[in-house]
Amino acid sequence: MTDDPKEVEQHDHRAISVVRGLAMDAPHAARSGHQGTAMALAPLAHVLWTRILTYDAADPSWPDRDRFILSAGHASILLYSMLYLTGHGLTLDDLRNFRQWGSATPGHPEVGHTPGVEVTTGPLGQGIANAVGMAIAERNLRARFSADLTDHRTFVVCGDGDLAEGLSHEAASLAGHLGLGRLIAVYDDNHITIDGPTELALSDDAPARFRSYGWHVVELGDVADDLDAIENGLREAMSVEDRPSLVVLRSHIGHPSPDVDTSTVHGYSLTSDGIRETKELMGLPDEPFHVPEDVLSLYRLAGRRGAEARNNWEKRISSTEFDRAQWDAAWAGSGIAGWEDALPSWEEGDAVATRKASNTCLQALLNVVPGLIGGGADLTGNTGTTISDHGVQGPDCPEGRQLFFGVREHAMGAVCNGLALHGGMLPVNGTFLVFSDYMRGAVRLAALSQAKNVFVWSHDSVGVGEDGPTHQPVEHAAALRTIPNLRVIRPADANETAGAWHSIIGGVGPTALLLTRQNVPVLPGTNDYAAVARGGYVLVEPAGSPELILVGTGSEVSVAMEASAILAAAGRSVRVVSMPCMEDFADQDAVYRDAVLTPGIPTVSIEAGVTFGWDRWADRCVGIDRFGASAPGERVMAEFGITPEALVAAAHDLLYS
C-alpha cells in the first residue's frame, strides 16, 4: 500500500467503483433488486467501513461494536457487498446468489440470517426506530455497567421513504426528547421515489423538522462523492453527545450510470448495456462481480481495523470489577440464578385484574432480571407497565429503566425491537389491545427477527365497557395468532399471569401478553408454571370419564368453570381446560394434546372475541363475531352471550344436536 495521498485517493475511488459494479451485477444476475441507491451511497459505505465504524469482522457479534442499520433495506446489496469485502463471512458466490432460494443474501437484510446484519429492515421507517432502541440500550448499559464495557455508537442510513413514513416521525421525536447523543442518522436525500421525483408528494423541510425534534443537523450538500467531506460530517455528528444527529447527504441515485437521477434506477433498470457503459466510465472491465485483489485487500484490512479495540475490550471485561451475574443475565435476556423465586402468587378466591397482576410480576422481577426495561404509550399505569424505583430513562437518568413512549405505539414496538436486538435488554411495552393495530408492522418484524420483546396489551375484550366498539378488541387476539413465531398468551387469572412471565423470561422470541382491565377471580389449579408453559392444560377433571369438554382462555376460563358447575349439578361429567396459549399447546406432542382435548369428546370453546381459529380445537365456539357496544363491561358481556348460562346452552345444543 502507498502513503501518497493522491494514490490513496485513487485507490479509494477505484474500490468504490468496484462496490458500484457489485451493486449493478447482483440485481442483474437476479433480474430483481435495487441498484441505484447502493450505487449512489457506495462512497458513504466506503467511508463508514474504512474510516468510521468500530467493528471487527472476525467477530460480528462483539457486544461493544458500533451498530450499523440500513433502514433503506431495499439497498441491501450495498450492505452485502461491504460485509463480503470486509470479511464478515459472505462470499462472492453469496453475492452471485442474491435474492435466490436459500441464499445468505435475501432481498432485504435479515438479522440472524446474514452475519453482520443487525436488524431486519425493508418496511420503511422501521430501521430508524430500531436505531433509537439500540441507542437507548447503549446508553443504559454504559450507565449501569460502565463505559469500560459499553462505549459505542449507532449509525442508521435512511432515505426519503423512511422519513415519509409516520413511524420515523414518532421515533425521531422520541429520540430528540431523550437526547440520544450517540445516535447518528444519515439521510440520503436523492429526491427520487418509485413513482418519480419526491416532489410529487413530499415538500417537507426535513432538516427543520429534525431541528424541531431537538436533533443536531449537519447539512453536507451535494458531496456524495467527496470522501473527506462525508467523513468530516460524520465526525462532527459524532462529537455531539447531548442529542442525536442527522447528516443530510444530497446524492444522485444511480450515479454514474446513464440512468442517474431517474425513478427507474431506484429498482432494476441497468442491464448488460447499461452496466457495460457504466463500468467503462468507471474504468472497470466488463466482467460481472469483478473484485481485484488489491481492492479486496484494502477492505479486508479495514475489516480487522477494530481487532485491537475488541481485544482490549476482552481484557477489560476480564479485569474490570462489575456484577458479572447481572451482566450475563442481561445479555442472555434472562434472570440471575433463582429468579423464579421472585414471582408472586395469589390465593384462590382473590379478585385481581390480570394487568395488575402482571405489573406485580414485572416489579418483582426487576432486581433479578436485569435486562428488563420499558413502559407504555401514554398508558403506562393502565397497562401495568409501570417500573418503579429504577429511574426514568433520559439524559439526566441514563440508567433509568422506565420508558415513557408517549402516544407513539408504532415507534414503541419498533424501538423495543431495537432494544432487544442490541442485546443486554429485555424490553416490555404496553398499550390497549385494540391499538395493537397501530403496532402490527413492528410486531410482525419482531416475530420475523425473533426479537425477545414483550408486547403487553391490556383491556383485552369487550369487558372494557363504556368506551365502546372503537376501544373493544374483538378480532385482535385472533389476528395476532396468525403471525408466525409470535406467542400469544391470554392468562386466566393472576397466577396464570405469573406463569406467563415465567415462560417469557425463560423463553425466546417475542410474546404478546393479553390482559384484562376488569378483576377476574383467582381459580384453583392455575399456579402450575409447567402446565401454563404447555399452553393448555386440564383445570377440572370429573370423577368419571368426561362427556363434555369446556375450553376457554383469559377471563372466560372462570365462565367455563361456572358453567361446568351448573352442568355437573345437572349430572353432566365435564372437563374444563384452560388454554392460555394456542401456540404453546400446538407445539406439544399429539399424546399430550389428545389427553387434554380428547378426540371424540364434544368440546365447546369460549372467548370474548371472534371465533376465528377456535374450530381447530372445538366443535362449537362461543364468541363475539361482531363489533362491540358502549355499556358497562358486565352488561356488554351478558348481551353478547359471554356468560355461564349461554355456555351451558351451547353445550346442551352440541350434546343433543
* Other CB atoms within 10 Å distance of the CB of residue 319: 8
Angle between helices 76-86 and 293-303 (to 10 degrees): 90
User: How long, in residues, is the chain?
Assistant: 657
Which element (helix H / strand E) includes 318?
helix 307-319
Distance of CA 43 to the CA centre of its chain: 30
Alpha carbon 613 to its chain centroid, in Å, reads 25
- Distance separating alpha carbons of residues 105 and 26, to the nearest angstrom: 10
Distance CA 373, CA 384 (A): 13
Which among 328, 525, 512 has a CA at the least distance from the CA of 432?
Answer: 512
Task: Please pick, among 110, 118, 138, 409, the residue that the annotation labels catalytic.
Answer: 409
Q: 3-state SS of the chain: helix, strand, coil percent to 5? A: 45, 15, 40
Q: How far is CA 158 from the centre of its chain?
A: 18
Measured CA to CA, the distance from residue 573 to residue 542 in angstroms comes to 6
What are 280's strand-pairing partners? none
Distance, in Å, from the CA atom of 254 to the CA atom of 256, rounded to the nearest integer, reads: 6
The residue whose grid cell reads 376501544 is 471
In this structure, are residues 561 and 540 in contact, taking their beta carbons and an 8 Å threshold?
yes
- Strands 487-489 and 519-521, by their bridges, are unpaired
CA 479 to chain centre: 18
- CA gap 551, 561 in Å, rounded: 10
Q: What are the residues whose beta carbons fall under 8 Å from the beta carbon of 264, sequence distance 6 or more?
A: none
Q: Which residue has the cell 432515505?
A: 159
Active site residue 409: yes
How many other C-beta atoms are found inside a 10 Å radius of the C-beta of residue 127?
Answer: 31
Cell numbers representing residue 191 in the block: 429526491
The span from the first CA to the last CA of the chain, in angstroms, equals: 86
How far apart, in whole angstroms, are the C-alpha atoms of residue 66 and residue 127? 15
Q: Do 449 and 421 meet the contact criterion of CB atoms below 8 Å apart? A: yes
Place of cell 458500533: 66
Cα gap 593→105, rounded to integer Å: 39
Q: How far is CA 27 from CA 123, 161, 635, in A?
A: 19, 21, 59
Catalytic residues: 409
